[in-house]
Structure 1
Amino acid sequence: MRVLALIPARSGSKGVKDKNIRNFRGLPLMAHSIQSALESGVCDEIFVCTDSEKYACIAREYGASVPFLRSERSARDESKSIECVIEAVNRYKEIGKEFDALILLQPTSPLRSAKHIKEAYEKFLKYGEDLASVCESLENPLFMRRIENERLCNLLPLSSSVRRQDLQKCYVLNGAIYINAISRLSENTSFNDNPLSYVMSREESLDIDEEGDFECNISESI
């Protein structure tokens, strides 16, 4: 089975300028994902999907492949991940490279390690289902509420008169790893709907989204 690791790193981040190449623990943010993919030993091609030649040069410096740039159409603010994935798969076919499995690695998850990628891929092979990584949720949806006409309404159609210690564990998608069979990809694919789970700790599930995420981690050692 030939595996394509795809790291989406467009240059137009609105929240934090040039987030994907900002320094995090001594490396450009996206370099952590490149190195983890390389060290996992399961990826035949590690592609940084970017619309920027500057980003492409940095990606190549750390061992990734960037044989072509992401199109403007798939790099808009409103573009979905599946758009750049399908575009990349088709572009690779045009240059004579085809793959059986996709490992989608968001560059904003720098603490996802080679061990995580390898374990997740082995689970994908074992069960034959598309996979998404998760971590345990701090909050249980049983205690969440909607507000309608100023009144609190249960998010779930269940009574919340239960002890916290009796609750089942709940998990949230952490965005670190998605693995899909390329034959099952379509324009309607939602990676967040992948059925198979791979559990990571909350600490390993850090998601770089705001300026403060850099400030509180930039000085820490790897």
Structure 2
Amino acid sequence: MTVAIIPARGGSKRIPGKNRRDFCGAPMLSYPIKAALASGCIERVIVSTDDEAIAELARHFGAEVPFMRPKELSDDHTGTTPVIRHALQWLKSHGELPEYTCCLYATTPLLQPQDLVNSLSILKSSARHFVFSAARYTFPIQRALLQTAEGGVTPFDPLSIGKRSQDLPETFHDAGQFYWGRSSSWLSGEHRMFSDSASMYLLPDHRVQDIDTPADWRRAELLYQLLHNDSDHEDLHPHR
């Protein structure tokens, strides 16, 4: 069995109510739910939340909310992994532990169903414990700059600042959309996501956008509109 777990707590300070806020005509939370259901490779979609309004919204779009997340896992300092483990422990206690679990973030309107299918296939055919979405840095991070306390500039890496881009190794970052893992690996804690226990599933730059600030939100809307060419927001184009 395969399960998607979407952490979606009620408290959000930088963008208040962002999980329920309208994004291009639909609530933000609806996008990962619909993508997971449209993928055909995920049998259950579970939303882990501490908020009754989010729970009602999740059920409206076809997800399950079989439990409410406890307060101790709903503050600003709780990481994602404890939330996923809590959900899996609940499923295990009810005799419903899946073989594969996908953590989906709630603010992923650019998520494509086919990426979920492809990345699960990679996990199943490998000895890795996790497969997660990633993207290439568009500029070599070794040539990053820092601002000094006096307002001047200093290289982040003085040994690399003068090198050509093509002479520097490619670097990647977590795209923040999905994290497939074997449920046993999520629960055991013996293997780490960002290690040799995992593989990256690379996404194109134009389908990756963190949404932490109002400016991020607006950029994500523009990317979504460009990708969908002003088509109806319920058409997820799973085979593009």
Q: TM-score, normalised by structure 1?
A: 0.89
Do residues 195 (structure 1) and 198 (structure 2) align? yes
Change beyond 3 A, Cα 1:25–1:192:
farther
Q: Distance in 2 between matches of 1:140 and 1:16?
A: 30
Deviation per CA, 1:68-112, whole angstroms, max 9, x where unpaired? 111111111100111111111111122231111110111122101
Shift of 1:28: 0.8
**Equivalent in the alignment of 1:206:** 209
Superposition pairs of residues 69-108 of structure 1, within 5 angstroms: 69-108=68-107
With over 3 angstroms needed to count, the CA separation of the structure-2 counterparts of 1:25 and 1:189, relative to structure 1, is farther
Q: 2:61 maps to which residue?
A: 62
Equivalent residues in 2 for 1:125-140 (5 A)?
125-129=124-128, 130-140=130-140
| Aligned residue runs from structure 1 range 124-203, under 5 A | 124-129=123-128, 130-144=130-144, 152=154, 154-155=156-157, 158-185=159-186, 186=188, 190-193=192-195, 195-203=198-206
Contact kept? 1:110, 1:206, Cα under 8 Å: no
1:166 & 1:59 partners in 2: Cα distance? 48
CA-based RMSD of the aligned residues comes to: 2.4
The gaps in structure 1 that reach 5 residues or longer are: none
Q: CA deviation at 1:182?
A: 1.3
Amino acid in the other structure paired with 2:185? R
TM-score by length of 2: 0.82
Cα-to-partner distance string for 1:147-178 (whole Å, 9 max, x where unaligned): 7998946448x444322244343211111111
Q: Is the 8 A contact 1:82 1:187 kept in 2?
A: no
Of 186-195 and 5-14, deviating more is: 186-195
2 CA distance for matches of 1:70 and 1:164?
46
**Structure 1 counterpart SS, 2:173:** strand
One-letter amino acid matched to 1:140: P
After the TM superposition, which of the residue ranges 118-127 and 88-97 deviates more from structure 2?
88-97
8 Å contact from structure 2 (residues 135, 208) kept in 1: yes
* Secondary structure of residue in 2 paired with 1:20: coil
State the aligned residue count. Answer: 220
* Cα contact 1:11–1:18 (8 A) shared by 2: yes
1:83 touches 1:187 (CA, 8 Å); kept in 2? Answer: no
- Judged with a 3 Å threshold, the aligned counterparts in structure 2 of structure 1 residues 77 and 187 are, in CA distance, closer, same or farther, namely farther
